[in-house]
Structure 1
Amino acid sequence: MEPIKSLMKGLIGQQELQRRTEKIRKMLIENPKIRSFMDQNPQIDQEKWTRHLPELYQFVEEWQHCAHCPGLEQCPNMMKGFRPELINDHGDPALTFKACPLLREDQNRRRQSRLIRSYYVPKEILSATFKTIDKNEVGRQEALKAAGDFVRDYLKDPETAKGLYLCGEFGVGKTYLMGAIMNSLAQKRHVASLIIYVPDFFREIKGAIQDNTVDSKLDVLKKTPVLILDDIGAETMTPWVRDEVLGSVLQYRMMEHLPTLYTSNFNYDELENHFSYSQKSGIENVKAKRVMERIRHFTKLIQMDGKNRR
């Protein structure tokens, strides 16, 4: 008798399993997303749908997670930041996975941060955007328009885009506006850019003579697609810095049609006076004019005013 009882229990257990399986199958195929996929793939028979119930269950469960998204960091899906999609895999329903909008946004942000580099510039500058700039402040409109025009012109044709020379008093937002340009270029076309605080970088270059890294450091400035020289004119000028460092960088970028942007407390004439004098060599107007020609001819001078925000 015992074998018969065992057999009966087995049959009852199997029937219960079939009943539950059918209930789950019915519940899953009533899901709107699965129903739509079934209508588009009528050649997939019921037996194959039943065979792939675990994948269908995962599909429905993870889309429920997405419908009540807790954020990228707390994503409960099997592959964090990915949504399941149904595909027809040679007559079988199968899952593939695509990045959700939050993951794509995070990836774009990380990609942009890798494109935007800086030397000795505050980190908050690298997060600046055109949206976060006060557009109503008097004295900024011309600079904002010029910055937007540069981004537009560069995206249209990088080789003909003319650089910017923003001059103005301390703290009016010149560097912050440059940060917005960098982020806009990175976001719209993944353009790499570099901003350096000139006085500190030139001090580093002088120190690099000892370890023979001057050329490798200058190559970074020469070859970056968009270079921003922040606070030029605030450095201690020497003939070597002017002619061999700055002059060689600007000459290379001029020949390669790579735009250079500047911020300064000086206008063109004041910067030329700054370049012309050094304690060791006295007044060298011709050499100063040579460097300035590479700045004047390839930039648009914009006076930026406003209140000091420092």
Structure 2
Amino acid sequence: MDSIDASLHHFMNKKEWQERFEKVKKEVLMDKRIQSFLKEHSAWNEDTLDRDLMKLYEYKKERENCDFCPGLKRCPNMMKGYQPVIAVENDQLLIRYQSCTLKRQEEERKKQQSLMKSMYIPKEILEATFDSIDQDHKSRLAASNKCLQFAMEANPGKDGKGLYLCGKFGVGKTYMMGAIVNELAARNIPSMIVYVPDFFRELKQSVTDGTVQEKIDYVKKMDVLILDDIGAETISAWIRDDVLGVILQYRMMEKLPTLYTSNYDYDELEEHLSYSQKGGIERLKAKRIMERIRHLTTFVFVDGKNRRESL
């Protein structure tokens, strides 16, 4: 019986296999990423990479899948949601896998939703895009353009200016915010939509399990924070001063953009914030909150027909 080495040598000298091997080698060497790797690592060149050819071929095919990504659910890679990187360790070429942007975004969203039930956003909003926004009203078109401009230019940590979308029920304010979230995701900028009434209600309930501060810290440090339907909550002095005030103060100091949707304009929201559950009126404290909101947002009025009535 021939030795394994002899058998392998005999197999490798078969013309058909050799031609296939050379074809694969040619494809690998034409890959720009692999060309860049070979330039940086002189130990590997066209004459010596035969031993690592299949590793590089695996890298090439998997990265091509990423180049034409069909989405996380339909990811064709061996490890769904992971992309390969070339590594060198002890003069050995290794192919390692790291989570892709979409995978990290999904994990971050799951982390957010496990921390806060108020992070639940309808599927329609999560899939919103600017192309799908109805532009059948001049006001909605102008608002959509403002939102797109923000999404394309947002620079958390450098510019803390956000948007304040105001309008009646069902005109598409939250949908536009969903489009912003998805556009920011394409730029690898983390963001979060919080439905304000549920968020504040959840914080009150979290006093008993000791997670209030954890939730406040998580929200206040998010790169881009969207407070959806502010003004629809039942206000209290604690919520206004120790929650909302603390969040906005931190974000102002760190230049982190905060965006809002509301049925109230600035003056109406200030009036709302001045009243508490106990019936007191504290206009000065409400004014302090509103100064931060006014100073760090651009007011955008959204009008049009109520989209919910047509559902």
Q: What is the TM-score when the length of structure 2 is the normalising length?
A: 0.70
Q: For the structure 1 residues 111 and 32, does the alpha-carbon distance in structure 2 shift closer, same or farther, using more than 3 Å as the test?
A: closer
- The yes-or-no answer on 1:200 pairing with 2:202 is no
Indicate if the aligned counterparts of 1:82 and 1:97 stay in contact, CA closer than 8 A. no
CA offset digits 1:254-282 (Å, max 9, x no partner): 22222111000111111111111234133
- The yes-or-no answer on 1:141 pairing with 2:133 is no
Q: Which runs of 5+ in 2 are unaligned?
A: 31-37, 39-44
Measure, in 1, the Cα distance between the counterparts of 2:20 and 2:29. 12
1:245 to 224, 243, 246: 243
In structure 1, the partner of 2:23 is 31
Instruction: Please give the secondary structure, in 2, of the residue aligned with 1:31.
Output: helix
Instruction: Please give the secondary structure, in 1, of the residue aligned with 2:152.
Output: helix
CA offset digits 1:84-143 (Å, max 9, x no partner): x9xxxx9xxx997698xxxx9x93322233445463442422232223323454421221
Q: How do 1:238-277 and structure 2 match up within 5 A?
A: 238-277=236-275
Measure, in 2, the Cα distance between the counterparts of 1:242 and 1:79. 44
CA offset digits 1:29-66 (Å, max 9, x no partner): 5637538959x97757xxx97xx7x967x969x97xx9
Measure, in 2, the Cα distance between the counterparts of 1:177 and 1:136. 14
Instruction: Please give the secondary structure, in 2, of the residue aligned with 1:152.
Output: helix
CA offset digits 1:128-186 (Å, max 9, x no partner): 2223323454421221121122223323x643241110011111111111122122122
Larger Rg over CA atoms: 1
In structure 1, the partner of 2:121 is 122
CA RMSD in angstroms, aligned pairs only: 4.2
Indicate if the aligned counterparts of 1:227 and 1:260 stay in contact, CA closer than 8 A. yes
- Tell me which moved more, 72-81 or 200-209: 72-81
Measure, in 2, the Cα distance between the counterparts of 1:74 and 1:176. 27
Structure 1 residue 193: Cα displacement: 1.4
Aligned residues: 274
What one-letter code is carried by the residue in structure 2 that aligns with 1:271?
A: L
In structure 2, the partner of 1:163 is 162
Q: How do 1:1-310 and structure 2 match up within 5 A?
A: 21-28=13-20, 31=23, 34=26, 37=29, 43=47, 107-116=100-109, 117=112, 119-124=118-123, 125-155=125-155, 158-188=157-187, 190-310=188-308
Identity of aligned residues (%): 45
Q: For the structure 1 residues 167 and 23, does the alpha-carbon distance in structure 2 shift closer, same or farther, using more than 3 Å as the test?
A: same
Measure, in 2, the Cα distance between the counterparts of 1:194 and 1:302. 20
Q: For the structure 1 residues 115 and 132, does the alpha-carbon distance in structure 2 shift closer, same or farther, using more than 3 Å as the test?
A: farther
Indicate if the aligned counterparts of 2:157 and 2:256 stay in contact, CA closer than 8 A. yes
Measure, in 1, the Cα distance between the counterparts of 2:76 and 2:274. 60
Indicate if the aligned counterparts of 1:164 and 1:260 stay in contact, CA closer than 8 A. yes
Q: For the structure 1 residues 191 and 81, does the alpha-carbon distance in structure 2 shift closer, same or farther, using more than 3 Å as the test?
A: closer
What one-letter code is carried by the residue in structure 1 that aligns with 2:288?
A: R
